[in-house]
Amino acid sequence: AQSVTQPDIHITVSEGASLELRCNYSYGATPYLFWYVQSPGQGLQLLLKYFSGDTLVQGIKGFEAEFKRSQSSFNLRKPSVHWSDAAEYFCAVINTGNQFYFGTGTSLTVIP
């Protein structure tokens, strides 16, 4: 069965520091992988997606993610975090039935 795991429930980083949010997937074939961000009280916004090609994917707001098949991972990175990046981040995979499976999310706090 398809699934994604986000091992970190909560992460705190200082503004200007680098960020890496972890995502591991379980999927038989090449997965369709996504990262979404949700600000408090808001809907979800797509940051980036991967389904083929270059394993380093660039997204919006300065985020990038790298697909590593050998590690079944799709970690999200940002070189320098801004206070406005504080939010909930969800990794997601799509199954053969075109249904999204979301990870449990990682809550990011940014301290001045």
DSSP state, residue 95: -
Q: Are 80 and 18 in contact (CB under 8 A)?
A: yes
Q: What is the CA radius of gyration of the chain?
A: 13
- Of 34, 63, 67, 74, the residue at the interface with another protein (CB under 8 A) is 34
Task: Give the residue among 70, 91, 84 at the shortest CA–CA distance from 20.
Answer: 91
Task: Return the SS3 of 99.
Answer: coil
Q: Should residue 30 be labelled a site residue for another protein when binding is judged by CB under 8 A? A: no
Convert residues 39-78 into a mask of x (bound to another protein by CB under 8 A) and - (unbound).
--xxxxxx--x-x---------------------------
Q: Which is nearer to another protein, 43 or 112 (CB)?
A: 43
Point out which span in 15-23, 36-44, 64-72, 74-82 binds another protein (CB under 8 A). 36-44
Separation between Cα atoms, residue 77 and residue 93, nearest integer Å: 18
> What residues between 89 and 108 interact with another protein by CB under 8 A?
90, 94, 98-100, 102-105, 107
Phi and psi angles of residue 20, each rounded to the nearest 5 degrees, phi first: -140, 125
Residues at the site binding another protein, with contacts judged by CB under 8 A:
32, 34, 41-46, 49, 51, 88, 90, 94, 98-100, 102-105, 107
